[in-house]
Amino acid sequence: MEKILFLTGRLAHKALEKVLSELKPIDFYWEIKEIGLQVAGLMTADMIRRRLKEPILDFDRIIVPGRCRGDLEKLSTDFGLPIERGPEELKDIPRFFNKESLKMNISNYDISIFAEIVDASKLTVEQILEKAENFKKDGANVIDIGCLPETKFPHLEDSVLELKNKGFKVSVDSLEPDELIRGSNAGADFLLSLTPNTLWVANEVTATPVLIPKEPTDEESLIKSIEYFLKIDRDFYADAILDPIPFGLVDSICRYKRLRTRFPEIKIMVGVGNVSELTEADTNGINAVLIGICSELKATAILTTQVSGHARRSVTEIDLARRVMYAARESRSLPKGFSDDLLTIHGKKPFLDTYDEIKSIAENVKDPNFRIQISEKGIHVYNRDGLVTENDPFAFYPDLKLHEDASHAFYMGVELARAEIAWRLGKRYAQDRGLDWGVSADKLSEEMLTHCQPGTTLKKERRRKNK
């Protein structure tokens, strides 16, 4: 049986012991060791090196707090056994070990993202390249050059050529045969889209076309186009057209299902913008469900846009959703536990500690430093002088007594604002860390090899005092 040593601080010892003792099933032996500090989150690799003197060779590995800073790889080499960070919150330890045992992997996917630059004809080549780079960074596999009806696009060829020179896969999106042919001649990989009336374009080009029906509800016209391309053994995608709510979304999903049933092996594309762009609701959930449907359909391409401000993260959201849904489908499990990053507004378990547990911790604090936590009851601030609980950050002002300490007051204002947002939305809050918005916002970078640097207000305050 594996033997694991957990390092912690004095304030967290009892809580860690409780969590570990309640783990079921458990397939390892554990011990806990304090290394002479109150707050476990302030532990560093250098501190461990100095203070961990007792023999540890009997253990197979050491787990340190998730916020422990420093070079753990070097520390592992020095001590001769693996030393790794656990979860940031000790109550996540059961999930931490469950993930270890399941070895969840979301690196694979089978859906390609076509990200459309909808107004490409109005942009310069340089602007198109900039948008393409951003889409690629967010996870797009193909850059879709959107052409506008009755709008001249003299730099279409140059746009395709420059994108190809930069290593992009490119599709040209137009219902005008001339633009499709020009795009293919310039090197485009895909053409969106060919109707039954424009199938002849395929004979003029080498690019892979996307086939669509004459009208969204005209399934027979799409079937005939597919059968023709199968007969001539030509590569293609088929798109049955996803309609917006309330103008036939369910019926269009059924069309895709019938299409897959009739043609089990063909490549299907789904354009999700009619739903994500035209529904005023947060897109991460919409995209997750749509990609789940696509995964069941075994669709292998998604066309998405980012036009409306509320859909500005669609490519990033779809990139994660396709990985989660692929992993869920291949493992025959629900899309749960693979990633928390699609949970952008509410957390599954936002309140790690009850009021009574926080009160118990507060009673053992012996220093004047303010700690901030949240529970279902509200926002809690405590130090050696006691515990105060409120729902409104402004209500803490009289008790904090920071009237003459501007930098500290500013710090507490920022932290209490974060705590209030987390409490009202039901999100995780951890002092000194920004809120996690999942795929809805870029994550704040954090260097775990170095110590936290002083905040801006503290730096300025130090400079003022040194003058």
DSSP state string for 214-272: SSTT-HHHHHHHHHHHHHTT---EE---PPPTTSSHHHHHHHHHHHHHH-TTSEEEEE-
Predicted confidence (pLDDT) at residue 461 exceeds the cutoff of 60: no
Q: How far apart are CA 11 and CA 382, in angstroms?
A: 13
3-state secondary structure of 83: strand
Cα-based angle 362, 444, 283 (whole degrees, multiple of 5): 105
pLDDT for 444: 78
Q: Of residues 331 and 178, which shows the higher confidence score?
A: 178
> What average pLDDT does this structure show over 382-386?
95
Q: What is the pLDDT of residues 324-342, one digit of tens each?
A: 999 999 988 899 889 999 9
Q: For the chain, what are the domain ranges?
A: 2-102, 112-331, 355-466
Give the per-residue SS3 of 111-174: CEEEEEECCHHHCCHHHHHHHHHHHHHHCCCEEEEECCCCCCCCCHHHHHHHHHHCCCEEEEEC
What is the arithmetic mean of pLDDT over 299-320? 98
Q: How far apart are CA 44 and CA 42, in angstroms?
A: 6
Mean pLDDT of the chain: 92
In this prediction, residue 346 has a pLDDT band, given cuts at 50, 70 and 90, of very high
Cis peptide before 193 (omega within 30 of 0): yes
pLDDT over 60 (residue 179) = yes
Would the pLDDT of 455 be above 90?
Answer: no
181: pLDDT strictly greater than 80 = yes
The predicted model gives 161-172 an average pLDDT of: 98
Q: Do domains 2-102 and 112-331 have the same CATH topology?
A: no
112-331, CATH topology level: TIM Barrel (3.20.20)
Tens digits of per-residue pLDDT, 242-275? Answer: 999 999 999 999 999 999 999 999 999 999 999 9
Q: Average pLDDT of 198-210? A: 97
What is the topology classification, in CATH, of domain 2-102?
Answer: Rossmann fold (3.40.50)
Q: Per-residue pLDDT for 192 more than 70?
A: yes
Q: Give the three-class secondary structure for 205.
A: coil
Among the ranges 13-27, 30-44, 295-309, 448-462, which has the highest mean pLDDT value? 295-309
Query: Is a pLDDT exceeding 70 seen at residue 464?
Result: no
Q: What per-residue confidence (pLDDT) applies to 375?
A: 97
Cα distances (angstroms) measured from residue 266 to each of 79, 218, 318? 56, 19, 22
pLDDT score recorded for residue 139: 98
Helices (H), 243-396: 249-262, 273-276, 283-297, 314-331, 355-362
Could you tell me the pLDDT band of residue 99, with boundaries at 50, 70 and 90?
Answer: low
Contact call for residues 396 and 388 (beta carbons, < 8 A): yes
> Is the pLDDT confidence value at 450 over 70?
no
CB 251 within 8 A of CB 241: no
27 pLDDT higher than 90? no
- Spatial distance between the Cα atoms of 279 and 275, rounded to a whole number of angstroms: 6
What does the pLDDT read at residue 405? 92
